Amino acid sequence: MTLTSRLKEIAHRHGFDVVRIAEASPLVDAARTMHTRLASGHLDGMPWLTHERIDLATSPQQLLEGAKSFISLGISYLGVRERPPAVPGNPRGRIARYAWGRDYHDVLKDLTIQVRDELISACAQPVRARIFVDSSPLA
């Protein structure tokens, strides 16, 4: 079994619906687009998103020196339990699916750590990894 196949098997077993791997090269087009949008005011409301943070987010070698690949994992919120039916005379607001349970940052980080640890155990050589869930140096 290839390492890619093993990774996908491990991730799916831990509940991830999406597993993608990409080369850890600079994200030149994404950086250009984000800088343009930030300068144009299209990213207002996110004061933490600065030009410096965009440079960091689009430069993998600054996040993990020697990085060769990105592994992106995703879980669909549609699999989450359905909203209970409305009860007449008992009005309530709607809450986005991602907010129905534990903080998704914590859930995804815990699951990703498990995937990382299993993947490292399956490798014949040393592995260095960093985990980001909408955060770390970017949040």
Q: How many domains does the chain have?
A: 2
Give residue 117's domain range.
1-22+70-76+96-139
Q: Are 12 and 38 in the same domain?
A: no
Domain finish residue from 63, 87, 115? 63
Q: Are 18 and 4 in the same domain?
A: yes
Q: Are 9 and 31 in the same domain?
A: no
Element (H, E) at 118: helix 104-122
Pick 136 or 22 by higher pLDDT. Answer: 22
Identify whether 116 is part of a domain: yes
Q: Are 100 and 116 in the same domain?
A: yes
Beta bridge mates, 23? 69
- What is the rounded average pLDDT for all residues in the chain? 88
Annotate 22-82 with three-state secondary structure: EECCCCHHHHHHHHHHHHCCCCCCCCCCCHHHHHHHCCHHHHCCCCCEEEEEECCHHHCCC
What percentage of the chain carries pLDDT values higher than 70?
Answer: 92
The Cα–Cα gap between 34 and 29 comes to 9
Query: Per-residue pLDDT for 98 more than 80?
Result: no
Identify whether 85 is part of a domain: no
Identify whether 113 is part of a domain: yes
Q: Are 132 and 119 in the same domain?
A: yes
The Cα–Cα gap between 46 and 49 comes to 6
What is the per-residue pLDDT across 25-57, written as a single tens digit (0 to 9) for each?
A: 999 999 999 999 999 999 888 888 999 999 999
Q: Are 6 and 34 in the same domain?
A: no
* pLDDT confidence tier of residue 87, bands split at 50, 70 and 90: confident
Question: What value does the mean pLDDT take over residues 11-29?
Answer: 96
Identify whether 91 is part of a domain: no
Q: Are strands 69-74 and 18-23 parallel, antiparallel or unpaired?
A: antiparallel
Q: What is the pLDDT of residue 77?
A: 74
What percentage of the chain carries pLDDT values higher than 90?
Answer: 62
What is the per-residue pLDDT across 49-75, written as a single tens digit (0 to 9) for each?
A: 999 999 999 999 999 999 999 999 999
Q: Are 12 and 51 in the same domain?
A: no
Q: Are 52 and 14 in the same domain?
A: no
Identify whether 86 is part of a domain: no
Query: Per-residue pLDDT for 1 more than 60?
Result: yes
